[in-house]
Structure 1
Amino acid sequence: MKVLVLGGYGLIGEAVLERLIEDGHDLVGLGRDVVQAQRRKPRAQWIAADMSRLLAAADWIPLLAGVEAVVNAAGALQDGPRDHLDAIHRRSVAALVTACEQAGIRRLVQISAIGADLDSDNAFFRTKAEGDRAVASSSLEWTILRPGLVIAQGAYGGTALLRALAAFPWFVPAVLADRPIQTVSVADVAEAVARTVGGSPARGQIIDLVEERARPLGAVLLEFRAWLGLPKAPIVAAPAIIGRLAGIVADGLGLLGWRSPLRSAALAALEKGVTGNPKPWAEITGCPPQPLEATLAAMPAHVQERWFARLWLLKPIMFIVLSAFWLASGIVGLARHDAAADILVSRGLPPAAALGMVLAGSVADIVVGAAVVVRPLARLALLAMIAITLLYLAAATMLAPDLWLDPLGVIVKAVPMLCLVLVALAILEER
């Protein structure tokens, strides 16, 4: 069977894609940027398309050629420069449903979310529910799956945050540590999709996918800490104001293109808890989703997991430091351009050329310092920082080699900053 998986390289979509390939299906993955997915998953065919722009049935029809079943694993947490919830969760899904009916595609699996509710004041849950309604009111053979907190070997969004908090030194900080959580392994989600695509009796139902027992968020974090192989540490409940401030900062970063799992929409969801009813799926399959302990035992952690967990919280600090350093360097250069130019004149440069170099360098520093905190520009800004630093070191070596021996380390200090830029570039990717 030819199956189209929307969001096929995401946390859930990738696991679904792999599971359906194992079952012998022909897979087509769809996403906005599929270049890396094509390299990592060459057994699938890939289509580059933005669901937020596929808002009419006619937009979908060419993409459904030969397809016999569709799995929608796409979604976004909150509105931002790259994400439009109403378009992705509601309008595009409604257009997809119409296109499937017109194209004669009968089977559709919609991966929704625990808490989806038409009356919710949370845009994520409301738009998810509106998309679910479009699916459920169709003539298709549909199933809507609503996973709890999905745990996977891959780390992205909330799963990355769990690792990072669990790896915090000396204690484990947690906002809303007492909120009840039911997890589900991404393998169980993929299994549920595979059963449904294959003709499971869950057709025409909305099914929660959660482990049987709810546990506090703090207990989930302690399980992750043990999984990482780190020493025991106490849970320290952070005041609610800390969570609200983190949400405000994360929302601001969202406007710059960064997708933090600490955004206000995620915190609002956590406030209600992440719980569902495991019984319907257990009755259908005779086997409920595995508990968190079994999920973690099935994906042993090694040193790369500890590296990632420790670096994740350091990543924003890294970018803040880089931005502040380059902005300050540029601003000081502009404020004291005469003094800076005098240094170059003393090394033999004409006054006009010296002043031009100082002004150009200061402006370049400010531009890259500002650009590095804008997610779509971050990679280019980091590469520019490397080029500017190397140019600076080369010019200093030619014009004033004695500065390498300056007791204040005027030149030498650029080397560790260059190393920090290289580290930031290495950990820039989000998935």
Structure 2
Amino acid sequence: MIASPTSRILVLGASGLIGRFITDDLRRRGLVAVGVARAFSTSQRVAALDIELPIMALDASALAGLMRAHEIDVVVNCLGVLQDGPGSDTQAVHREFVARLLAAIPASGRGVRLIHISIPGTADEDHTAFATTKREAERLIASSGIPYAILRPGFVIAPSAYGGSAMLRALAAFPIDLPAKDAAAPFQPVAVADIATTIAWLAMRPLDDEATRAVSWDLMQPEPVTLGGVIAAFRRSFGTTDWPRLTVPAPLVDLGAIAGDLSSRLGWMPPMRRTAIAELRRGVRGDPAAWIAATGMTPTSLSETLGAQGAAIQDKWFARLFLIKALIIASLVLFWVASGSIALFISFPATTAILTTRGWPEGFAIPFAAITSMMDISVGVLIAFRKTATFGLAAGIFVSLGYMLGCAMLTPDLWLEPLGALVKTAPAIVLMLVALLMMDNR
């Protein structure tokens, strides 16, 4: 399908899983797609029309000006956050921003269609702030009077992986099963390419086309699929179908969600949080009949989607390392904080004795031991927070190399210490290097 080259589309949230694919796909179809995000990764900055803006800080007037400046015909809103936390406000992102966007469209002085990415389900099933604010945004759009299309994708399968899609890949790559009740939850998938095709199709419709002036469609394959079925499909792709597996108890899943919530307070965005588990257990289901009838599309099935992609070695590595990344970060935080705390608060006399017995003056050994211990704790704290983790890992590598070099010069006999404490520093440096190379999220 080749779209009209006169169509100009503004994609809000163009750095996300859906937004990035849509932006690139629309450009391949001949459309002018202006991708806007708060920040793009270095690898995502592929065109001059990828613009970094503080989207959530833009008022209706600024949004209207953005549409006028780029002569926008269609706005695709892909913005969304899973749950409230530092830097994430479901009410602000899902409802308040949409209200400003709805005010901006008529103020732009242009005929603009709004395509809004929402979630499947019904209001009586909404029990999280994520779901209720998404539904509030739908009601605002439906009563606005502007041309709109509300798209409610099922579980999105894309070539890249982020959040929940990454977590399911990880589950498929490990010899573990979800509790039977969770695995039985309905989980109808949709290929991200089908979402992009739908948006391109809508972009070519005349604004006054009554058939598409105000629509709400569920986008997913019509055949029923369970969460366990989706994971099983990934297992076939990864070649892990025949592995023996251990079923994770439901309380352990809940405990993992609580741990995910706690880590989100430190700025991390783990896919396993209480909202994610609640939405997973609610399931993903809908009726795509209206979408199929209107567009004439045949939804790509789960087996076709995964079969078309295959599982390359990078897919397998990512899936296996995804959950291990959290373990690596947590262990490094514990390693640095515990080692510094033990040296400073529990074994400080023994720490200073290592230096004084080798001829260091006590007046120098005591402050040196205290400073290095606090430095270790600081490295652990820096790694614990997402914003400073990269700096903390680099600092940890630098400090470790400094310890090794300093001991080689000042106390070389420590290299022959029976438990090999200094020798074991080298693997710790390698682990920090691995963590440093895994810090990218997109």
TM-score by length of 2: 0.92
Partners of 1:61 and 1:98 lie apart in 2 by 8
Residue aligned with 1:153, SS: coil
Pair 1:22–1:203, CA change in 2 (3 A): farther
Partners of 1:134 and 1:215 lie apart in 2 by 31
Q: Does 1:51 align with 2:55?
A: yes
Contact 2:179 2:248 (8 Å CA) reproduced: yes
Contact 2:178 2:249 (8 Å CA) reproduced: no
Q: Does 1:246 align with 2:249?
A: no
Pair 1:96–1:167, CA change in 2 (3 A): same
Partners of 2:121 and 2:247 lie apart in 1 by 24
Summarize the alignment of residues 341-360 of structure 1 with structure 2, pairs less than 5 Å apart.
341-360=352-371
Q: Mean alpha-carbon deviation: is it higher for 189-198 or for 230-239?
A: 230-239
Correspondence for 2:157: 151
Residue aligned with 1:5, SS: strand
Q: What amino acid sits opposite 2:66 in the alignment?
A: L
Partners of 1:86 and 1:21 lie apart in 2 by 31
CA displacement at 1:216 relative to structure 2: 1.8
1:348-406 Cα deviation digits (max 9, x unpaired) = 43322221221111111112212312211211111111111111111111101232232
Partners of 1:378 and 1:302 lie apart in 2 by 29
Q: Does 1:115 align with 2:135?
A: no
CA displacement at 1:267 relative to structure 2: 1.4
Correspondence for 2:4: none
Residue aligned with 1:28, SS: strand
Correspondence for 2:275: 265
Residue aligned with 1:298, SS: helix
Correspondence for 1:212: 222
Correspondence for 1:411: 422
1:145-171 Cα deviation digits (max 9, x unpaired) = 0000001110100110111100113x4
**Structure 1: tracts of 5 or more residues without a match:** none
Contact 1:32 1:50 (8 Å CA) reproduced: yes
Q: What amino acid sits opposite 2:231 in the alignment?
A: L
Residue aligned with 1:89, SS: helix
Contact 1:12 1:186 (8 Å CA) reproduced: yes
Partners of 1:43 and 1:312 lie apart in 2 by 29
Pair 1:118–1:24, CA change in 2 (3 A): farther
Contact 1:146 1:208 (8 Å CA) reproduced: yes
Contact 1:52 1:84 (8 Å CA) reproduced: no
Contact 1:118 1:126 (8 Å CA) reproduced: no
Q: What amino acid sits opposite 1:323 in the alignment?
A: V
Partners of 1:130 and 1:44 lie apart in 2 by 34
CA displacement at 1:231 relative to structure 2: 4.2
Correspondence for 2:169: 163
RMSD of aligned alpha carbons: 1.9
CA displacement at 1:237 relative to structure 2: 4.5
Correspondence for 2:377: 366
Pair 1:240–1:119, CA change in 2 (3 A): closer
Partners of 1:93 and 1:266 lie apart in 2 by 22
Partners of 2:289 and 2:299 lie apart in 1 by 10
**Structure 2: tracts of 5 or more residues without a match:** 1-6
Q: What amino acid sits opposite 1:27 in the alignment?
A: A
Q: Does 1:130 align with 2:136?
A: yes
Correspondence for 2:242: 232
Correspondence for 1:198: 204
Q: What amino acid sits opposite 2:88 in the alignment?
A: D
Pair 1:116–1:94, CA change in 2 (3 A): farther
Q: What amino acid sits opposite 2:321 in the alignment?
A: L
Find the partner of 1:28 among 12, 30, 34.
34
Q: Does 1:295 align with 2:305?
A: yes
1:155-188 Cα deviation digits (max 9, x unpaired) = 100110111100113x434570111110000111
Q: What amino acid sits opposite 1:151 in the alignment?
A: I
Q: Does 1:60 align with 2:63?
A: yes
Correspondence for 1:384: 395
Partners of 1:23 and 1:203 lie apart in 2 by 22
Partners of 2:224 and 2:245 lie apart in 1 by 18
CA displacement at 1:35 relative to structure 2: 4.8
Correspondence for 1:317: 327
Find the partner of 2:104 among 88, 93, 99.
99
Contact 2:188 2:223 (8 Å CA) reproduced: yes
Correspondence for 2:3: none
Residue aligned with 2:148, SS: strand
Partners of 2:87 and 2:262 lie apart in 1 by 14
CA displacement at 1:271 relative to structure 2: 1.8
Partners of 2:412 and 2:245 lie apart in 1 by 53
Q: Mean alpha-carbon deviation: is it higher for 145-154 or for 109-118?
A: 109-118
Pair 1:405–1:87, CA change in 2 (3 A): same
Partners of 1:18 and 1:186 lie apart in 2 by 12
Pair 1:84–1:21, CA change in 2 (3 A): same
Partners of 1:101 and 1:18 lie apart in 2 by 27
TM-score by length of 1: 0.94
